[in-house]
Amino acid sequence: MQKGKKRRSVLKLKPVRRNCMFCKINSEPDYKDYETLKKYVSERAKILGKDRTGVCAKHQRRVSREIKRARALGLLPYTLKLN
């Protein structure tokens, strides 16, 4: 193996087509609308990237900011709840 090149054995997920919901309906993400923000969080409560959500870059930055605000207020979980 050449120097500087590393192999990754990461599971490749199929990317989603770019179709930003916020651009379509001409709105902005809001921390108070946590039901909508749940779609952009994985089942382990991690923020999904724009390649998995299909949101444009501008709204992806705002979505992540609003998710963090909702977490701080206790509307969304930081981690997965285990029984």
Q: What is the pTM of this model?
A: 0.76
Of 71, 79, 80, which is closest to residue 31 (Cα–Cα)?
71
DSSP state, residue 47: B
- Rounded Cα distance between 67 and 4, Å, is 36
pLDDT of residue 80: 79
Residue 8: pLDDT band (50, 70, 90) is: low
29-69 pLDDT per residue, tens = 999 999 999 999 998 899 999 889 999 999 999 999 999 99
Domains of the chain: 29-73 (4.10.640.10)
Count CB atoms within 10 A of the CB of residue 63: 24
pLDDT of residue 83: 65
- Rounded Cα distance between 13 and 63, Å, is 21
